[in-house]
Amino acid sequence: MADTKTTEVSANRSFGGWQKRFSHQSNVLNCQMHFSVYLPPAAELGEPLPVVYWLSGLTCTDENFVTKAGAQRVASELGLILVMPDTSPRGEDVPDADDKAYDLGLGAGFYVNATQAPWNKHYRMYDYIVDELPSLIQQRFNVQPKAAIAGHSMGGHGALMIALSNVKRFSSVSAFSPIVNPMDCPWGEKAFSHYLGEDTSQWQQYDSCELMRQQGQFLQLPMLIDQGLADDFYQNQKLAKPLELIAQETNYPAEFRYHEGYDHSYFFISSFIEDHLRFHAKHLSA
Amino acid sequence: MADTKTTEVSANRSFGGWQKRFSHQSNVLNCQMHFSVYLPPAAELGEPLPVVYWLSGLTCTDENFVTKAGAQRVASELGLILVMPDTSPRGEDVPDADDKAYDLGLGAGFYVNATQAPWNKHYRMYDYIVDELPSLIQQRFNVQPKAAIAGHSMGGHGALMIALSNVKRFSSVSAFSPIVNPMDCPWGEKAFSHYLGEDTSQWQQYDSCELMRQQGQFLQLPMLIDQGLADDFYQNQKLAKPLELIAQETNYPAEFRYHEGYDHSYFFISSFIEDHLRFHAKHLSA
């Protein structure tokens, strides 16, 4: 059956599988979008494969992880499909920050459903990641129903927040250098006040610390978090640590690892992505 | 001893070692240059380590291989220092192709010493790679005297041509999708006619096929060449294959591998770079 909703725009052989890029019209985001997919060699054998969604950070597109993380080697070995969405709606009709700031607007969707004008017409990344994209993936590829989700920085926030809000959809979650408490850090406060307005009670549903505090004892997912200690944003954006404190309070069995000398870059991600994919593969097959 | 000739401009922790970038004033190229170095964890143990030089292809800088090849993981394990130079002289004073073509001038030095104006003032990449850069590396880092050399496309040409011209300096050479016969392909003919003039007898010293034909029986280096069969440039730039025919004529024990479905991109390089680094490590320690 021909799939009319997604168009393959590139395909590169990689570690015996295929690194592909697709475009499609997003009904949720009201614009043309791209996403990338790695298909391991096992995708040609006919059995449904597990999927790991990767959510990228500020300024990224669907391509940064694809070119820089070195994840295909491990996904090839483990038989994982990797799905990399973009980080915001795109296109000339989509509003951007007035000053083209890197931390608001294009490349900075923060994985929320905006309620405020002018953002609310396109910036509905939560629904895109939770509903529309998985539907497209299930329609186009032979995948298992449960997935894993991971991300970096703003995408670490997205992965944790989406997993904590949809615990039955995911078998595990992991993050590098995640924004865990967007209600109480400069990046999060800026984005949430623009996208969600000044009523902070509307922010809580998108704050991983709040979500874990509310649900921690009841709904638990395997969780792995890596944080570099030479990361310039570690202190001033309150990455990782606030969530660890709540995990301790709520006896949430998350593993937090802190790495001397590592920074916020893809050099950090590439050094430890293998651990994350092996972690997800174990829980996906459990 | 403080090193006054090279300045460290960035350092990122990577696989337990360091991915660094340096700038320096090149006497040979008559301009400011950058190069990148990966230092594996073993660099902190005090013993001299083997070096693998990586020469990149058209349009690249010293950074493409650093971010896209996934080589640090393997170099970390094997205790190899990786050195990535830029692909041409750089700066506002350095002439570029009149039409800013990607295959002449900036980003397209072709690893030769230009003899023709306006190129001859800066475009002396052969001397830079063979003499100036190794001197800087030996001065700044604790390295073994023999090195390995590898590269991609134009850089595959550079690696093979430089190794064949300096067999006692290198323990092994490898290439991905190399231009092997620049005297007889569009990229090479264009570059060589501009840099070296119309007298093709001056071109032979930089043509790997010519060099192997002249020396093949006498001076042999371990050689590994990977070529993708879905590479758009494979046929029309005569990559890899002409050298294999001469290797067969001269009984040169080179290994040529052809890969179904792989193209000219870094997805191809990253899929097989581990094989190349293990090949070099074996011969560097022999």
Question: Do A59 and A266 meet the contact criterion of CB atoms below 8 Å apart?
Answer: no
Helices (H), A17-122: 64-68, 72-78
pLDDT digits (tens, 9 = 90+) for B248-266: 999 999 999 999 999 999 9
Residues in B touching A271 (Cβ below 8 Å):
13-16, 72-73
Judge contact between B110 and B116, C-beta under 8 A: no
Mean pLDDT of chain B: 96
Instruction: Decide if B70 and A70 are in contact by the 8 Å CB cutoff.
Output: yes
- ipTM, two decimals, is 0.94
Domains of chain A with bracketed CATH: 15-144+157-284 (3.40.50.1820)
A179 neighbors A188 (Cβ within 8 angstroms): yes
Q: What is the model's pLDDT at position B215? A: 84
CB B35, CB B86: distance < 8 Å: yes
Of B67, B230, B271, which is closest to A15 when you measure between CB atoms? B271
Q: In B166-265, where does DSSP find H-type helix?
A: 186-196, 208-215, 241-250
Q: What is the 3-state secondary structure (H, E, C) of B213-236?
A: HHHCCCCCCCEEEEEECCCCCCCC
Per-residue pLDDT of A251-276, as tens digits, reads 999 999 999 999 999 999 999 999 99
Q: Helices marked H in chain B — which ranges?
A: 64-68, 72-78, 125-127, 133-140, 154-165, 186-196, 208-215, 241-250, 266-284
- Is the Cβ pair A270, B16 closer than 8 Å? no
For B84: left if phi > 0, alpha if psi spans -120 to 50, otherwise beta; the answer is beta
Q: Name the residue of chain B whose CA is nearest to A65's CA.
A: B68
**pLDDT at site B5:** 84
Active site residue A264: yes
**What percentage of residues in chain A have a pLDDT greater than 90?**
95
A64-79: per-residue pLDDT in tens? 999 999 999 999 999 9
Among B4, B13, B85, smallest CA distance to B44 is for B13
What is the count of residue pairs from A and B with beta carbons less than 8 Å apart?
63
Q: What percent of chain A has pLDDT over 70?
A: 98
Catalytic site includes residue A231: yes
Alpha helices in B4-85 (DSSP H): 64-68, 72-78
Question: Residue A128: its pLDDT value, please?
Answer: 98
Closest residue by Cα to residue A150 from A14, A275, A246, A286: A275
Q: What is the pLDDT of residue B1?
A: 39
How does strand A81-85 pair with strand A31-39? antiparallel
DSSP reduced 3-state for B113: strand
The sign of the torsion formed by the CA atoms of A186, A192, A198, A203 equals: negative
Rounded to whole angstroms, the Cα distance separating A25 from A33 reads: 6
Mutate to test the interface with B, among A10, A13, A270 (most CBs of B within 10 A): A13
pTM: 0.95
How far is A74 from chain B, CA to nearest CA, in Å?
11
Active site residue A275: no
Distance, in angstroms, between B69 CA and closest chain A CA? 8
Taking an 8 Å Cβ-Cβ cutoff, which residues of chain A contact chain B?
A: 12-16, 19, 67-68, 70, 72-73, 228, 230, 259, 261-263, 265-268, 270-271
Q: Would you call A44 exposed, middle or buried from its count of C-beta atoms within 10 A (0-12, 13-18, 19+)?
A: exposed
Kindly tell me if the per-residue pLDDT of B161 is higher than 90.
Answer: yes
**A267, B13: Cβ pair inside 8 Å?**
yes
> What pLDDT does residue B219 have?
80
CA angle (A270, B35, B153) in 5-degree steps: 80
Structural contact between residues A80 and A39, judged by C-beta atoms closer than 8 angstroms: no
CB contact under 8 Å between A230 and B13, yes or no, is yes
Question: Over 80: is that where the pLDDT of A4 sits?
Answer: no
Write down the pLDDT at residue A215. Answer: 84
At A148, is the pLDDT very low, low, confident or very high (cuts 50, 70, 90)? very high
List of residues 6+ apart from A245 with CB closer than 8 A: none
pLDDT at A3: 47
Q: Residue B97: left if φ>0, alpha if ψ -120 to 50, beta else—which one? A: beta
Nearest Cβ partner for B267 among A13, A262, A263: A13
Task: Return the percent helix, strand and coil in chain A, to nearest 5.
Answer: 35, 25, 40
Between the CA of residue B116 and those of A107, B126, B189, B193, what are the distances in Å? 46, 15, 14, 9
Contact A19 B262 (CB under 8 A): no
B-chain CB neighbours of A63 within 8 Å are none
User: With b meaning 16 or more CB within 10 Å and e meaning fewer, what string describes A207-244?
Assistant: bbbbbbbeebeeebbbbbbbbbeebebbeebbbbebbb
Q: Show the tokens assigned to A203.
A: 């922010």
H-run or E-run covering A85: strand A81-85
List, for residues B9-22, the tens digit of each pLDDT value: 999 999 999 999 99
**Tens of pLDDT, residues A203-256:** 999 999 999 999 877 789 999 999 999 999 999 999 999 999 999 999 999 999
The pLDDT value recorded for residue B4 is: 52
Q: Which of A12, A72, A261 sits opposite B265 (nearest CB)?
A: A12
By C-alpha distance, which of B55, B62, B16 is closest to B39?
A: B16
| Chain A residue with the nearest C-alpha to that of B266 | A67
Q: Distance of CA A201 to CAs A125, A165, A206, B270, Å?
A: 19, 16, 10, 47
Contact call for B270 and A14, based on CB within 8 A: yes
What is the structure's pLDDT at B127? 98
Overall average pLDDT of the B113-135 stretch: 98
- Closest residue of chain B to A268, computed from CA coordinates: B14
Residue A136 has which token pair?
A: 């497209």
**Residue range B31-49, pLDDT digits in tens:** 999 999 999 999 999 899 9
Q: Which residues of B touch A267 (CB under 8 A)?
A: 12-14, 19, 72
As a whole number, the mean pLDDT across chain A is 96
State the best of A267, A273, A275, A277 to mutate against chain B, taking most chain B CBs within 10 Å.
Answer: A267
Q: Do A13 and B271 touch (CB under 8 A)?
A: yes
Which residues of chain A have a CB within 8 Å of the CB of B67?
67-68, 266
CB pair distance less than 8 Å for A267 and B70: no
Residue for token digits 């046929």? B235
Q: Which of B12, B14, B263 sits opposite A12 (nearest CB)?
A: B263
Give, to the nearest 10 degrees, the angle between helix A208-215 and helix A241-249: 10
Please indicate whether, in this complex, the C-beta atoms of A13 and B270 are within 8 angstroms of each other. no
CB contact under 8 A, A267 and B12: yes
